[in-house]
Amino acid sequence: MSSGKKKSKRVKPKKSCCKSKPRCKRCPIRLLAEGRLDPADAKKIFAKDRNRKQAKKAKLALPEG
């Protein structure tokens, strides 16, 4: 018998955005927009210029740092 609790799976984000539309389930831009990306992970991922450019294009506020 199960206890009735569901474990929420943590999605591991990709290292870089693949620029595909619609965004894949592991896209860091999608996870940031949904609020499911850890701020520490976001700083590392969006340190790359390519990822910053894609997030800016998607009109997302990037974490500082």
The model's pTM is 0.64
Q: What is the pLDDT of residue 2?
A: 56
Q: What is the pLDDT along the chain (65 residues), one digit of tens a residue?
A: 556 665 566 778 888 777 777 888 888 888 888 888 888 888 888 888 878 888 888 888 777 65
Ramachandran bin of 59, using left for φ above 0, alpha for ψ from -120 to 50, beta for the remaining angles:
left
Q: What is the pLDDT of residue 10?
A: 73
Q: What is the pLDDT of residue 49?
A: 80
